[in-house]
C-alpha cells in the first residue's frame, strides 16, 4: 500500500504569456478547490514568459495554496513533464490544466467525485473550433496512440486530466526531459495497460485574451518529434 503524501491533489499549470487572464484563471481554480475542501497545492510554472505574466503572478506570492515556479522557456510539453515530476512527489492525485481559460474549473468536481473508482479521469474537449492543421494533428495524435498503444482514450492530448500519482509516477519515470507531448504518451500507456479511465465532456471555449503563440510549421515539427518519442516510449509501457 502506498504512503499518503502531503497533499491530496497537486495541480500542474504551465503558463506562457498570459498576462491578460492569468490572475483571473488562478483565482478561479483556487476558489473552486477551496470550496470543494480539497487539500491541494497549485503549481504554476511560468515558462519564460516575455510579457508581464511574472509580475502578475506576484499576486500569489503569499498564498500558501499556490507555488509559482519561474523557469527558462522550454515549451509546453517539457514544462508539463517537469510539473508532473514535482507533483507526484507531493500528492496522491495530479491534475493538469492549462492557463488560457479555455476549459472551466467548474467541471473538475465531477472528476474528483468519481476518482476512487478510476486510475485516471479526463475532460473531453467539446465544442472545439480548430484550424485544419490543428485538426489534422489531433487526428494524428489519436491515431498514433491507437496504433502504438491501443485504443481506449478519446481525447489523448486533453489538458484537463486527473491521474493517480503512483500510476503517473511509474509512467513519467521513463520519459525524457524534452518530451514534447507527454500527455499523448501518458494516454497511450494508460490505454496499453488497460487502466480504468473515466471521460467526461467539458465545453471548450475560445480564448478570450491573447493569441496562440505557436505557428503551423513549428506545430508540425513538434508533432513529428512527438510521434518519434511515442514510438520510442512504447518499450516502457
Find the mean pLDDT for residues 133-146: 58
pLDDT digits (tens, 9 = 90+) for 199-226: 999 998 876 665 555 545 465 455 555 5
Query: What is the predicted pLDDT for the residue at 154?
Result: 86
Q: Is a pLDDT exceeding 90 seen at residue 176? A: no
Cβ(25)–Cβ(99) under 8 Å?
yes
Q: What is the mean pLDDT of the chain?
A: 85
Query: What is the predicted pLDDT for the residue at 82?
Result: 96
Query: What is the predicted pLDDT for the residue at 220?
Result: 47
CATH superfamily, domain at 7-236: Spore Coat Polysaccharide Biosynthesis Protein SpsA; Chain A (3.90.550.10)
Min mean pLDDT across 48-62, 139-153, 205-219 is at: 205-219
Q: Is a pLDDT exceeding 50 seen at residue 228? A: yes
Spell out the long-range contacts of 69-72 with Cβ–Cβ below 8 A and sequence spacing 24 or more.
69/43, 69/44, 69/45, 70/46, 71/45, 71/46, 71/47, 72/48
The pTM of this model reads 0.84
Q: Is a pLDDT exceeding 70 seen at residue 142? A: no
Beta bridge partners of 41: 10
Percent over 90 (pLDDT), the chain:
62
Query: What is the predicted pLDDT for the residue at 138?
Result: 59
pLDDT digits (tens, 9 = 90+) for 87-131: 999 999 999 999 998 999 999 999 999 999 999 999 998 866 555
Min mean pLDDT across 17-31, 50-64, 123-137 is at: 123-137
Amino acid at each position: 500500500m502506498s504512503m499518503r503524501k502531503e497533499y491530496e491533489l497537486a495541480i500542474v499549470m504551465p503558463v506562457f504569456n498570459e498576462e491578460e487572464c492569468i490572475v483571473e484563471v488562478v483565482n478561479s481554480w483556487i476558489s473552486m478547490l477551496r470550496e470543494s475542501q480539497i487539500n491541494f497545492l497549485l503549481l504554476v510554472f511560468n515558462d519564460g514568459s516575455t510579457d508581464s505574466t511574472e509580475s502578475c503572478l506576484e499576486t500569489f506570492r503569499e498564498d500558501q495554496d499556490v507555488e509559482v515556479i519561474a523557469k527558462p522557456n522550454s515549451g509546453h510539453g517539457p514544462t508539463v513533464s517537469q510539473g508532473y515530476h514535482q507533483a507526484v512527489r507531493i500528492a496522491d492525485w495530479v491534475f493538469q490544466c492549462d492557463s488560457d481559460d479555455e476549459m472551466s474549473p467548474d467541471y473538475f468536481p465531477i472528476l474528483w467525485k468519481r476518482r476512487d473508482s478510476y486510475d485516471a479521469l479526463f475532460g473531453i474537449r467539446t465544442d472545439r473550433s480548430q484550424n485544419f492543421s490543428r485538426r489534422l494533428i489531433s487526428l494524428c495524435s489519436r491515431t498514433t496512440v491507437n496504433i502504438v498503444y491501443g485504443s481506449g482514450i478519446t481525447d489523448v492530448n486533453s489538458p484537463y486530466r486527473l491521474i493517480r500519482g503512483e500510476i503517473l509516477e511509474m509512467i513519467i519515470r521513463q520519459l525524457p526531459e524534452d518530451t514534447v507531448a507527454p500527455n499523448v504518451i501518458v494516454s497511450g500507456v494508460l490505454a496499453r495497460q488497460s487502466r480504468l479511465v473515466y471521460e467526461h465532456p467539458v465545453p471548450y471555449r475560445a480564448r478570450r485574451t491573447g493569441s496562440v503563440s505557436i505557428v503551423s510549421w513549428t506545430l508540425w515539427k513538434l508533432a513529428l518529434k512527438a510521434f518519434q518519442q511515442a514510438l520510442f516510449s512504447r518499450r516502457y509501457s
